[in-house]
Amino acid sequence: MSVENIPESYLKTKGNIPDLFVYDFKMTENLIKTKVNLNSHMFSFLQTGKKQVHFSDTSVLVDNSQSLLIKKGNCLWTELLDTDEIYYCKLLFFSDKKIKEFLQKHVKYNSEIQEAQSYFTIENDSYIDSYLNSLATIMAAPVAFMNTLLSVKFEELLLYLTNKYGEVFENYLKSLIEEETSPLKKTIEKNVYTSLSLEEIAFLCNMSLSTFKRHFIKEYKQSPGKWFRDKRLLRAKELLETSTIKVSDIYLDLGYNNLSNFSSAFKSKFGINPSEI
């Protein structure tokens, strides 16, 4: 699967990414786990459909009742249509420079900055609806005038969200421009029991699969394939022994494509079929 560089793939002309950029994303069929190299921070205002994003340490699923502020970096996007509607999402990209300008003008650095989370969830309301309508109007203006208005509208949005969410949102903005690292171990252990493949987890670590395997073995003294398989099978055994969950309800969540493969792996490790527990 190829990697999509965003917002570069949406720009009409090649070159530097603008400090502010609006794009209307529409589609007529589902896109599952698209590999995305997000090179700007981004507001995702979903209008129709559902959106799931997998990050290195967590995942989130939203519909049009919520919007997302997503930190730049590698992630996996799944975009789903509702019934027969066109999937539609208005995206607002912005640079570190625009955050710094806002913070210098409106926010005091008076608290300890926490490590940036991958996303911030925004509950949609009447303001967000009117804001999106105003963005649509701005995008029809001449370029020079549009850029000036967009800068004003971006500041307005951050002021509104700061007023709505207070210090929590302020601290999130501060954290976006702090230098940070994403340790390999943190990413791995956040995805032990997900259905993500090794290749997808390697991507979220910003590594090729071969590099990921090499670093994994150095950290865990074991191949990643066997390590994940053992962890997930032990988790399956625990769920089957301590709950009323059915075998057919867990194999997909633990990374197996079909029940037969899961049952064979389970029997190979524990000597019994999962249905016997």
What percent of the chain is modeled with pLDDT above 70?
A: 95
The answer to whether the beta carbons of residues 202 and 191 sit under 8 Å apart is no
Q: Which two tokens stand for residue 165?
A: 């969410």
Same domain, 255 and 212: yes
* pLDDT of residue 180 exceeding 60: no
Work out the mean pLDDT of the chain and round it to a whole number.
89
Q: What is the CATH number of the domain that holds 216?
A: 1.10.10.60
Same domain, 21 and 104: yes
Q: Distance between CA atoms of 212 and 198, rounded to whole angstroms?
A: 9
Same domain, 189 and 151: no
What's the structural domain count of the chain? 2
Parallel/antiparallel/unpaired status of strands 66-70 and 20-27: unpaired
Write the pLDDT tens digit of every residue in 133-146. Answer: 999 888 887 877 88
Range of the domain at 226: 184-276
Same domain, 59 and 7: yes
* pLDDT of residue 12 exceeding 70: yes
User: Looking at residue 113, what is its pLDDT?
Assistant: 55
Parallel/antiparallel/unpaired status of strands 3-6 and 31-38: parallel
First to last CA, the chain: 38
- Average of per-residue pLDDT across 249-261: 84
- Is pLDDT larger for residue 102 or for residue 190? 102
Residue at a domain's end among 159, 176, 193: 176
Same domain, 160 and 40: yes
Lowest mean pLDDT among 74-78, 79-83, 265-269: 79-83
User: Looking at residue 97, what is its pLDDT?
Assistant: 94
Same domain, 148 and 216: no
User: Looking at residue 112, what is its pLDDT?
Assistant: 54
Same domain, 100 and 133: yes
3-state secondary structure of 150: helix
The answer to whether the beta carbons of residues 37 and 10 sit under 8 Å apart is no
| CA-to-CA dists, residue 65 to 125, 128, 179, 246, angstroms | 8, 10, 32, 32
User: Looking at residue 181, what is its pLDDT?
Assistant: 45
